[in-house]
Structure 1
C-alpha cells in the first residue's frame, strides 16, 4: 500500500463519513440542498447510509480488504455521478462544486486502489 493511496483513501473516508453524519443529523444545509434539487427530504437518511457504507467499505480496504475497497470506491463514484447529474438536470449550479470534489476524491481512490 503506497502513501498516495493511503492519504487519498483516508481523505475520502473522512469526507464521506462527515457528509453521512450531516445527512443523519439532517443539517440545515443538507435539507435546503435536497429541497432545491427537488429531492424528497425523507430520502436524506438513505443517502447518508450510502455515503457511510462507502466510507466503511473503504476503511475495510485500508485495513487489508482490497476487494471491498474497490467496490466501495466504485459505489461512491456512481453515487456522486448521480449527484452531479441531478445538479445538472435541475440546473442548480450554485452548489455543484461539493459533489464534483467528492466524485474526484472517490475516483482518485478507485484509480489508486486498482493500481495497488
Structure 2
C-alpha cells in the first residue's frame, strides 16, 4: 500500500524536521499561529508529536487485524480523501489554493508519489 509506506517512511525519517527529499511532508510550519491556541493547556508542538504517533498506531492495528487488500485500499482512499479535504479547507480559510476538485486531484497525486507538473 503506497500511502501507508509513504506515511511510515516519512514519519520515521522526516517528522518533525521535514528535511530531505520525500513525496509526502507532514510538518508544522514555523508561521503557525500559536496565539489562536493560547486557550488550550497543551503545547502545540507536543500535540503535533502526539498526532504523528497516531499514524504508527493505526498501521500497527491494521497489521494486527490482517485486513484484506480491499479493506486496506478502502482505508487508503478514505485517508487520502480526508487529508485532501483538510488541505482544501485550510486553503479556503487562507483564501488560497484552487477548486475542491483540483485540490483533491493534486493531493492524491502527491500522496501516491506521482510527479506533479509545476
TM-score by length of 2: 0.46
Larger of the two Rg values belongs to structure: 2
